[in-house]
Amino acid sequence: MALTDTAIRKAQAGDKPAKLFDERGLYLIVAPSGGKWWRLKYRIEGKEKLLSLGTYPDTTLGKAREKRDEARRLIAEGIDPSAHRQATKAARAEENSFEAVAREWHTKFSPKWTEKHAERILRRLERDVFPWIGKRPIQNVNAPELLTAMRRVEARGAIETAHRALRDVGQVFRYAVATGRAERDPSSDLRGALPPVVSKHHAAITDPKEVGRLLRDIALYEGSFITKSALKLAPLTFVRPGELRFAQWREFDLSGKEWRIPAERMKMRVQHIVPLSRQAVAVLRELRALTGESSEYLFPSVRTWERPMSDMTVNAALRRLGYGKDEMTGHGFRSMASTILNEQGWHADAIERQLAHSERNKVRGAYNYAEHLPERRKMMQAWADYLESLENGSTTSAKRSSTAPAH
């Protein structure tokens, strides 16, 4: 005889577990403690088995019957419902593993990053995070095991990498929280758990006399003309080394004295305008005669003009000129310009905008790539004139004119 809700509610706990049978293998166990558990007895491949279907009243009689019928449909197809449940649970756990969620997060957001930045993040996760917590369900990962993974990175002396990996992990967890696959971000519990990063500044020459000597050495450089042109343009534009070596001719308006670097090549994904001094235009016109018709890049590789020069080319040229890595680097031209221009009184906001540093207000930053442009045009020409004077042995300043508009 089939069970009824009334019979289930009236069932009293006894000294021993009691079974209340429904139909087609479904029954309810009433435990001495008062708990009521649904079970399904079935046979598959000649073996008798039991399947748990939940507890009453959370699982009602009607819901228990639905689960029974679903299980029996699997049995009719030769599928063990217990094994099927375990496989489904495992698949769900794999879908919600830290690695699966992290790769989903990376796929979703990487189109907004530069290609190299996206590669670095994925490589860091694959090397330092996935081997240790990748297969764990993301909602089960806790702060201690996360710290253990970060300690492994720290142990090899890569303190900065450990901090970057922890930051990446935090972004993955916040994405998991937003998509309903984790309740919180345990990486926030690890603030202060890793040793602080000791800042390493890019080596740069900032003494005017030494800058003059460097510029004279560059003028006498006897290597590739393309490399020499890059060395000349680096101090005149003080863009990031990657922005310089990937420069393409279509980005330049020599008549308008302007270089517009597209957003996808900028670190902050915002178009950047570089006003060109007459000295920079002169370097570019001479270089265009060599590479302008044969390559899309200003500075093509020596192996193939279909790719830009190596990221080591400028630094290698500086070493060839006798400047050690602790003395001057390609990135150091930015520090050189920033230090001297600030000392000479140019407006700090104009300098920061020309360096394309990140804007703290991200909404504002998306629209201000042309901010302070009149001041920046004057500054870039004055800076080039100043470098020219240093190269010629003078120490004339590139200070702002008293008539230059303040911002």
Q: Which of 92, 184, 285, 367 is catalytic?
A: 367
Cα–Cα distance for residue pair 118/248, rounded to 1 Å: 22
Catalytic residue among 39, 260, 267, 319: 267
Burial class of residue 296, CB neighbours in 10 A (0-12, 13-18, 19+): middle
Residue 55, classed as helix, strand or coil, is strand
Q: How many residues does the chain have?
A: 407
Active site residue 267: yes
SS3 122: helix
Nearest to 240 by CA among 305, 311, 134: 311
- CB contact at 8 A, 299 and 229: yes
Place of tokens 């020499």: 228
357 among known catalytic residues: yes
Q: Cα(216)–Cα(322) distance, rounded to whole angstroms?
A: 13
Q: Are 268 and 352 in contact (CB under 8 A)?
A: no
Whether 331 is a known active-site residue: answer yes
Q: Which of 68, 106, 257, 331 is catalytic?
A: 331
Closest-CA residue to 201 (of 93, 293, 89, 338): 338
DSSP 300: B
Catalytic: 347?
A: no
| Catalytic pick among 36, 124, 240, 265 | 240
Options 334, 372, 376, 377, the catalytic residue: 334
**Tokens matching residue 382:** 């004055």
Looking at the annotation, which residues are catalytic? 240, 267, 331, 334, 357, 367
